[in-house]
Chains A and B, each alone.
Chain A
Amino acid sequence: MSFLKFIIKNPFRRKNSAILSIVGICIGIVVIVALGGITNGLVSTFEETIHAGGADFSISGKETGGSAYGTNTIDANWTDKIANVSGVNEAYPIYVVLTSVGDDYMNTLIGIDPNGTALADLSINEGRIFKDNASEAILGKIYAEDKGLSVGDSIKIDGEDFKIVGIYETGDSNMAGGVFTSISKVGDLMDDENSISNIYVKVDKGADPQEVADRIDAMYGDNITTVSSVMEMNQMANMLNMLQASSWGISLLAIVVGALGIINTMLMSVFERTREIGVLKAVGWSNRKILTMIVGESLVITLLSAVIGSIIGVVLCSVLCPMMGLNPLFTPYIFIQAFGIAIIVGIIGGLYPATKAVKLPPTEALRYE
């Protein structure tokens, strides 16, 4: 028999107590793994959104009060002015109007330059992007599903038949259920070629969006205003930071509760085996060996908990999260964290009972009834 096998066998002598400790630590590990998976999932969706090529910020008319999708319009020549501001890489206008769409008497129709769809954070899910100035439209996936429309169908917009050429998805929830066509087509329908609603701006690579936005505000602040999506991002980032912090808080709680539980279990185990520890001393085991044995037993419990807890955490999260519209993402770091915590709890939990066992004089231990 190896020393390791001896250590692994020992914690299961008191099955109920071992199981109770395992359940306790397991709960902590499940929470850490599940919360870690959810946080990671959110972070990765968030990062995808940022890096999808969406605009850094948008520009709207002063009187719209900063709403990104206001129906107030500005003059179309603002697009060229903004495009010429230093630091601006691309500037594409959108024109948002209310008109009859399909069987809806009033709905939003958004016009955008076919080349500017990436800036609006649209990604084509099916089909293609509309051609400029053509009677073609793309529908948000949510809208298309809702109305039972698909690529190839036609839809009446402002009394005119449009061909549905594509279905898009977007990280921007304001536009997920909308209908897009080219901005020149919208101008046509509205008989108004000189109005736009907003301008999407992407800054040069390496430029700070906030600085460029400030520059535009300084130059044209009397007439237009910048709506920084960076600000929304910051809010999102704050929320994620909070999630991550609470994940750490829960980890800490798990450490404290887990350590208390395991100390209790190991203390009882050491107490019950007082005579036995006396025998181990009598047959010549060193204090260090006895210490290793007890801390080892504690680690067996916590590591087993980490394995079980990780499996339960992943399974639970994979089943429940999609129901809540969340996409968990499990990275190795989460499991490193879970096992790291298990090891810390195991060592803390075993050390105190172990030192108590080691301090006991062998004769006392052997006299113990």
Chain B
Amino acid sequence: MSNIVEINNLVKTYENGHIKALNGIDLTICEGEFVSIIGPSGSGKSTLLNMLGALDLPDSGSINVAGYDLVSNKNLNVFRAQKIGFVFQLHNLIPNLSVVENIEIPMFTSKLSNSEMRSRALDLLDAVGLRDKASLKPSKLSGGERQRVAIARALANNPSIILADEPTGSLDSKTSTKILKQLIDLHRSNNVTLIIVTHDMDVANLADRVIEVLDGKLVNAGDNSLLENKINLD
């Protein structure tokens, strides 16, 4: 299986080098893999995820994602639009737009017509079981439903990788499990690589591989050999 992520000796600092958010990371992730990233707060998990999604540039090291060299490439917005789907801890939906319009937002970067955008957005709402809420404003939805809309939005442009930063961190554990199951199902059915940052070990253990970060370093890059016998969700 080919690698979709290749990271070598990645360093990222903040505050003029005083904060070493990432301190020499080496990591490879296979196409279609489901990886969870764990570690204490402030250890650098979000920074790593932001690097993977080209939301920020490293100080040094190399990072290659889905065929893009993120250090030298100048069209990072195209990379983000076509290859990456983000799910944040907070849903970050646009409040004055309806649910279906929110899902269309990433598609503005594509060449789809308005009606193609609408039908794709409705299909995605079907996939997360919220088709009947399509015309509602996000404020009319529960926290769990909003996060499912955010997942549908992440899938809008058919990305190669979904990056989820504590996607259920603000939800109760029952809702949280339901949503994560849905996310994992979508990862399988769409054959999209899934990388989740989480505090929850039950969630982390659902992954093909668990990576542990501490003080900007990988203390455990996980066991790649388990890839073949995936944990059964049911």
Residues of chain A having any CB pair with chain B under 8 Å: 1-3, 6, 9-10, 12-13, 275-276, 278-287, 289, 361-363, 366
> Is B17 close to A, CB under 8 A?
no
Stretch at the interface among B31-39, B87-95, B167-175: B87-95
Contact B55 A363 (CB under 8 A): yes
- Tell me what chain B mostly uses at the interface: helix, strand, loop, or mixed: helix
Give the distance to chain A from B84, nearest Cβ to Cβ, in Å: 8
* A10 closest partner in B (C-beta): B96
* A367 closest partner in B (C-beta): B46
Known: A1-B101, A9-B97. A282 touches B86 (CB 8 A): yes
Give the distance to chain B from A302, nearest Cβ to Cβ, in Å: 20
Q: How far is the CA of A287 from the CA of B80 in the complex (A)?
A: 13
Contact B92 A275 (CB under 8 A): yes
Contact B106 A366 (CB under 8 A): no
* B157 closest partner in A (C-beta): A284
**Which residues of B have CB within 8 Å of A10?**
96
The 3 closest A-B pairs by CB, nearest first: A284-B81, A283-B106, A284-B80
Q: How far is the CA of A13 from the CA of B56 in the complex (A)?
A: 30
**Which residues of A have CB within 8 Å of B77?**
281, 284-287
Residues of chain B having any CB pair with chain A under 8 Å: 50, 53, 55-56, 77-82, 84, 86, 88, 90, 92, 94-97, 101, 104-106, 108-109, 114, 117-118, 153, 156-157
Contact A283 B94 (CB under 8 A): no
**Inter-chain pairs besides A275-B90, A283-B156, 12 sampled, C-beta below 8 Å:** A1-B101, A1-B104, A6-B108, A279-B86, A281-B55, A283-B80, A283-B157, A284-B84, A284-B109, A285-B81, A285-B108, A289-B109
Contact B109 A276 (CB under 8 A): no
Contact A284 B106 (CB under 8 A): yes
Give the distance to chain A from B36, nearest Cβ to Cβ, in Å: 20
Contact B86 A283 (CB under 8 A): yes
Give the distance to chain B from A360, nearest Cβ to Cβ, in Å: 12
Q: How far is the CA of A178 from the CA of B169 in the complex (A)?
A: 93
Contact A280 B105 (CB under 8 A): yes
Known: A276-B92, A362-B55, A363-B56. A286 touches B97 (CB 8 A): no
Known: A283-B153, A363-B55. A1 touches B117 (CB 8 A): yes
27 A-B pairs with CB atoms under 8 Å apart are A1-B101, A1-B117, A3-B108, A6-B97, A9-B96, A12-B96, A275-B92, A278-B92, A279-B92, A281-B55, A282-B53, A283-B86, A283-B105, A283-B153, A283-B156, A284-B78, A284-B84, A284-B157, A285-B77, A286-B109, A287-B77, A289-B108, A361-B56, A362-B50, A363-B55, A363-B56, A366-B55
